[in-house]
Amino acid sequence: MNLQETITKRFKEVFGTDGTLYASAGRINLIGEHTDYNGGFVFPGAIDKVIMAEIKPNGTDKCHVVSIDQNQEVEFGLNEADAPKEMWARYIFGVCRETIKRGGKVEGFDAVFAGNVPLGAGLSSSAALESCFAFALNDLFNDNSIDKFELARIGQSTEHNYCGVNCGIMDQFASVFGKKDHLMRLDCRSMEYEYFPFDPKGYKLVLVDSVVKHELVDSPYNKRRESCERVAKRLGMETLRDATMEDLNAIKGDITAEDYLRAKFVIGEKDRVLAVCDALEKGDYETVGKKMYETHEGLSKDYEVSCEELDFLNDLARREGVTGSRIMGGGFGGCTINLVADDRYDHFIKTAVKEFNDRYGHEPRIYDVVISDGARRV
């Protein structure tokens, strides 16, 4: 049984009727890392891994939700005091609350949901879950009057206010706005976005998950952020968004070597996103791949957020003739994202699994992804 059949069968068993099906997607970010808080660009796309839910208003003020994957059923009311204890249910409760806080209507409903976005692998299963329900509540109770950006913000606020995750907007944006065969360049300063065609015929996108997460001491992310802010301030700018390498080199003697390297990465990364957009418009995936390697190099040597396992996977990708490869996400563990020519794919995966396992004692996980639609009624 596929996901949809499993969900509809269960809904019928539990609630004795049919509801409406909705889905939303996980996401990748092709390029544009650590740029969001520097007022730069990110370049995500939704993927063919989703959270799907069947939902039906039940005429009460209670929500009855079944999680197939967690094998749990939870009932909650819609007032602030009704927050469920189960983490997965808090995402749904949060979406209800954030919709209500914005003046939207939410009434009791029955729901069954399941998904195939790997949890905690950096593909944002939580954003898929939030976006699926935010889209559904907008359709079922609000005549789709809440605009899509607000749906993304409902998901983001859910993370902040109900799940203790202080995230940016990219994941929910990508999940809500995702479009088949397109990536989206989001300007994190103006919040303007643009679709770019991404249909890499002859290549595959594949994530190699190292399944390691290094415990971090002395909040290295905050330190990176502070470096960027110091350099921007020294340049008399609000963020590094408008800074050029010439600007940076002109003040090189006045800042620490470390701050210089951090800013160098951020400025380079902004230019790389723009270069990738140009390349995509020409269908030039070899240049896209080259920029991905440059990003990895910058994240590893200048921003210093890589780790041994990720550098190992990146070196291996180069040796295997993979077109592009880089760390995806904040760093210090997680996945690499790889753009691989079809005829290199099998050998690359086989070698990566074997050599990584030989060296680190466990196999990496492999996730093939295809750029697909975001939030929708199924």
> Is the Cα dihedral 329, 122, 175, 79 positive or negative?
negative
- Write the DSSP assignment of 150-186 as a string of letters: HHHHHHHHHHHHHS-----SHHHHHHHH-BTTEEEEE
Q: Output 255 or 330, the one with its CB closest to ligand ADP.
A: 330
Shortest reach from residue 44's CB to ligand ADP, in Å: 13
Residue type for position 345: Y
Tell me how far apart the alpha carbons of residues 178 and 159 are, in angstroms, rounded to a whole number.
20
Shortest reach from residue 340's CB to ligand ADP, in Å: 23
Tell me how far apart the alpha carbons of residues 216 and 301 are, in angstroms, rounded to a whole number.
18
Q: Which residues bind ligand ADP (CB under 6 A)?
A: 51, 67, 69-70, 87-88, 91, 114-115, 117, 119-120, 122-126, 129
Contact 39, 189 (CB under 8 A): yes
110 is catalytic: no
Q: Output 171 or 304, the one with its CB closest to Mg ion.
A: 171
Shortest reach from residue 163's CB to ligand ADP, in Å: 7
Q: Output 126 or 227, the one with its CB closest to Mg ion.
A: 126
- Among 171, 259, 302, 373, which one carries the catalytic annotation? 171
3-class secondary-structure state, position 368: strand
Q: Which residues bind Mg ion (CB under 5 A)?
A: 126
- Report angle CA 172, 308, 220 to the nearest 5 degrees: 55
Shortest reach from residue 68's CB to ligand ADP, in Å: 7
Contact partner, 331, from Mg ion, ligand ADP, none, Cβ < 5-8 Å per class: none
Show Cβ contacts of residue 64 under 8 Å, excluding neighbours closer than 6 positions: 15, 58, 73, 74, 75, 108, 109, 110, 111
Q: Output 87 or 378, the one with its CB closest to ligand ADP.
A: 87
Contact partner, 22, from Mg ion, ligand ADP, none, Cβ < 5-8 Å per class: none
Indicate which residues carry an active-site annotation: 171
